[in-house]
Amino acid sequence: MTAFGIDLGTTNSCLAYIDESGRPAVVRNSIGENTTPSVVYFERRDSVVIGSAAANAALLAPELAVRHVKRRMGRKDVDFHFHGTRYTPETISALILKELAAAAERRLGRPVRDVVITVPAYFGVAEREATRRAGEIAGLDVLDVLAEPVAAALSHQHGHPAGSPRHLLVYDLGGGTFDTTVIRVDGDDVNVVCTGGDRDLGGADWDARIRAFLLEEFTARHPRLDPTADEQFMQELWIMAEQLKKELSSARSRRRNLRFAGATVQVELTRERLEELTADLLQRTLKITEDTIDRARRQGVAGFDEVVLVGGMTRMPAVASRLEGLLAKDGPADGMPRRHEPDLAVAQGAALFALIKQVQQEDDGPDGRDGPDGRDERVADRLGISAEQAESMRSRNVTTVVPRGFGVKVIDEHDPLAATDPMRARFFVVHLLPADTPLPADSGPVVFGTVLDNQPMLEVEVWEQTRPDGTEELADNTMIGRGMLRGLPPRLPRKTPIEITFHMSETGRLSVHAVEPRSGREVRFDLQIGGMDKAAVADAKAAVARHDTTS
């Protein structure tokens, strides 16, 4: 059965597979586009429109549409209501996935079930889990979720196999998210060295600046008119802003007419002006890139053999030129930024990874154990790929890292209040798994202590860093789960050792173990992050299945 890679993007989504000739191929959607806008439009109670048609329909009735849902992934406090039905970020994403899969099934005439879905490298566990659940709700078998820059590197590397170890810097600026990642490619091994990003920074922010500029130009000429209350005018301004931005990637200057309440204003936007209006936004991406490069350098990465530009926004000439400027500081040895299928590379890499996963899973199955003879042929036959492909896939090894630090909340022993009034003492987070630890990761037992004499129980609070470079202060972390170690033996003195171990699987599932070694009292818990259980997934699935999606 063919496995597929899906780039579930903030702005655009894309689906690819490895074709009969062994090359990653993008499957066009039902209207022939390579990518599908990640817009969902709730036309009627039982009819949902996805993609370009949804983006157009949203112009007239924005209140019936959802855009940029990826920015909300993993949030339990966000929901949407349309025609009496409640939707979560997962169920909205599931509708997009379902549409991509259905369109590909129609085009290829074969089922789409096994998929790898990509996520930004800095997505935390909650967002990854939410993405996986979105796939399940859409009725897909999610082989894995994969970091987008790793996918981009895989697809980039596919065309340029390398002998000696190389370092890649992936700079991905999309419509709503930015991330930058240092990747080491050594033969068949692909490793993330470190990663940084901002989930609230992307093309939409550029569009907002252009829109504000257009509005100012209009109101400067007609101070008494206020078009901001006219929703349709404002929506059209959005579209115009994005179009201008795209056109200014190739043109130097563009003119537009703004019409409102009988007044017309002609405005001109030049590329220079656009770059001025958005200089701080680009600067933010460069600062994050610089910090990420610094962290890579501390891990022994001296320079980059290649700089890979991904994401539609990297078509802006300013991106490559400013990035070149930044890299030139490190001397001319670094590879200069190259655009590599900025819209398709992530889905293509995910398709490669999906095939790798499938081959490796086949290896783990009964056929894998009866010796290597003919194994690649059997796997190849079943997957519909060549034996050479199967063999090269099997040896490929993609390691990912802990996206951000994970730890437990502890009391600051140096705070005098710790002994007298612990609840008012200073707390901070000890990261048992620091950001960038390769997965699967095991912290080994880390020893903490009880706080009070005769403490009967102990709460283990698990916290996750909110930024890869965050400190151990609570403000830089967020609580993601907790467990209670109960029934500690009586009369334990304070500072009785408690050992806590974190294990994180390759897919980002975090298992926590806390034990008081003398009595053996222990607690284990896997984090139910996002808190949607099997029954809830089944319910959501039923709700999504009811819709006839069209596009």
- Segment contacting ligand ADP (CB under 6 A): 3-11, 80-88, 257-265, 445-453? 3-11
Residues 306 and 195 sit within 8 Å (Cβ to Cβ): no
Q: Please enumerate in sequence order all residues whose Cβ is within 8 A of that of 391, keeping only pairs 6 or more positions apart, or say none.
A: 376
| Beta carbon of residue 76, minimum distance to ligand ADP (angstroms, whole number) | 23
- Looking at the Cβ atoms of 350 and 355, the one nearer to Mg ion is 350
Q: Which of 89, 196, 312, 468 binds ligand ADP (CB under 6 A)?
A: 312
- The bridge status of strand 65-66 relative to strand 114-119 is unpaired
Q: Which residues from 292-311 bind ligand ADP, rule CB under 6 A?
A: 311
| Beta carbon of residue 350, minimum distance to Mg ion (angstroms, whole number) | 11
The residue of the chain with the least Cβ separation from Mg ion equals 174
Query: Residue 245 binds which one of ligand ADP, Mg ion, none, with CB within 5 to 8 A depending on kind?
Result: ligand ADP
The residue of the chain with the least Cβ separation from ligand ADP equals 203
Q: Which of 124, 174, 203, 407 binds Mg ion (CB under 5 A)?
A: 174
- Return the number of other C-beta atoms located less than 10 Å from residue 387's C-beta: 15
DSSP sequence for 54-84: HHHHHHH-GGGEE--GGGGTT-TT--EEETT
| Beta carbon of residue 148, minimum distance to Mg ion (angstroms, whole number) | 6
Q: Which of 199, 245, 357, 396 binds ligand ADP (CB under 6 A)?
A: 245
DSSP sequence for 200-253: T-SHHHHHHHHHHHHHHHHHHH-TT--GGG-HHHHHHHHHHHHHHHHHTTT-SE
d(CA 230, CA 133): 38
d(CA 26, CA 157): 17
d(CA 96, CA 138): 9
Query: Residue 180 binds which one of ligand ADP, Mg ion, none, with CB within 5 to 8 A depending on kind?
Result: none
- Segment contacting ligand ADP (CB under 6 A): 74-82, 241-249, 445-453, 488-496? 241-249
- Segment contacting Mg ion (CB under 5 A): 39-47, 167-175, 260-268, 436-444? 167-175
Q: Which residues from 336-365 bind ligand ADP, rule CB under 6 A?
A: 343
Tokens of 374: 């003919």
Residues 12 and 312 sit within 8 Å (Cβ to Cβ): yes
Asked if 191 interacts with ligand ADP (CB under 6 A), we say no
Binding to Mg ion by CB under 5 A, coded x per residue (else -) over 66-95, reads ------------------------------
Residues 477 and 464 sit within 8 Å (Cβ to Cβ): yes
- Looking at the Cβ atoms of 316 and 379, the one nearer to Mg ion is 316
d(CA 22, CA 109): 19
- Looking at the Cβ atoms of 249 and 550, the one nearer to ligand ADP is 249
| Beta carbon of residue 509, minimum distance to ligand ADP (angstroms, whole number) | 25
Between the CA of residue 522 and those of 410, 473, 485, 494, what are the distances in Å?
Answer: 18, 27, 6, 18
Q: Which residues from 2-31 bind Mg ion, rule CB under 5 A?
A: 9
Distance of CA 497 to the CA centre of its chain: 38
Asked if 313 interacts with ligand ADP (CB under 6 A), we say yes
Between the CA of residue 308 and those of 182, 297, 320, 414, 499, what are the distances in Å?
Answer: 10, 18, 10, 47, 43
Binding to ligand ADP by CB under 6 A, coded x per residue (else -) over 78-107, reads ------------------------------
| Beta carbon of residue 307, minimum distance to ligand ADP (angstroms, whole number) | 17
d(CA 285, CA 332): 21
- Segment contacting ligand ADP (CB under 6 A): 239-247, 301-309, 401-409, 471-479? 239-247
Binding to ligand ADP by CB under 6 A, coded x per residue (else -) over 9-28, reads xxxx----------------
| Beta carbon of residue 53, minimum distance to ligand ADP (angstroms, whole number) | 17
Asked if 242 interacts with ligand ADP (CB under 6 A), we say yes
- Looking at the Cβ atoms of 249 and 399, the one nearer to ligand ADP is 249
Q: Which residue has the tokens 């299945």?
A: 545
Tokens of 44: 């009627």
- Looking at the Cβ atoms of 292 and 360, the one nearer to Mg ion is 292
Q: Please enumerate in sequence order all residues whose Cβ is within 8 A of that of 120, keeping only pairs 6 or more positions apart, or say none.
A: 147, 148, 172, 177, 179, 197, 199
Asked if 175 interacts with ligand ADP (CB under 6 A), we say yes
Asked if 51 interacts with Mg ion (CB under 5 A), we say no
Asked if 334 interacts with ligand ADP (CB under 6 A), we say no
d(CA 119, CA 350): 10
- Looking at the Cβ atoms of 12 and 30, the one nearer to ligand ADP is 12
| Beta carbon of residue 345, minimum distance to ligand ADP (angstroms, whole number) | 10
Q: How many residues bind ligand ADP (CB under 6 A)?
A: 20
Q: Please enumerate in sequence order all residues whose Cβ is within 8 A of that of 61, keeping only pairs 6 or more positions apart, or say none.
A: 41
- Looking at the Cβ atoms of 208 and 446, the one nearer to ligand ADP is 208
Asked if 124 interacts with ligand ADP (CB under 6 A), we say no
d(CA 11, CA 422): 47
Question: Using CB atoms within 10 A of its CB, is residue 121 exposed (0-12), middle (13-18) or buried (19+)?
Answer: buried
Instruction: Determine the 3-state secondary structure of 332 from DSSP.
Output: coil
How crowded is the C-beta side of 15, counted as CA atoms within 13 Å?
28
d(CA 157, CA 151): 10
Contacts with Mg ion by CB under 5 A lie at: 9, 174
Contacts with ligand ADP by CB under 6 A lie at: 9-12, 174-177, 202-203, 242, 245-246, 249, 311-313, 315-316, 343
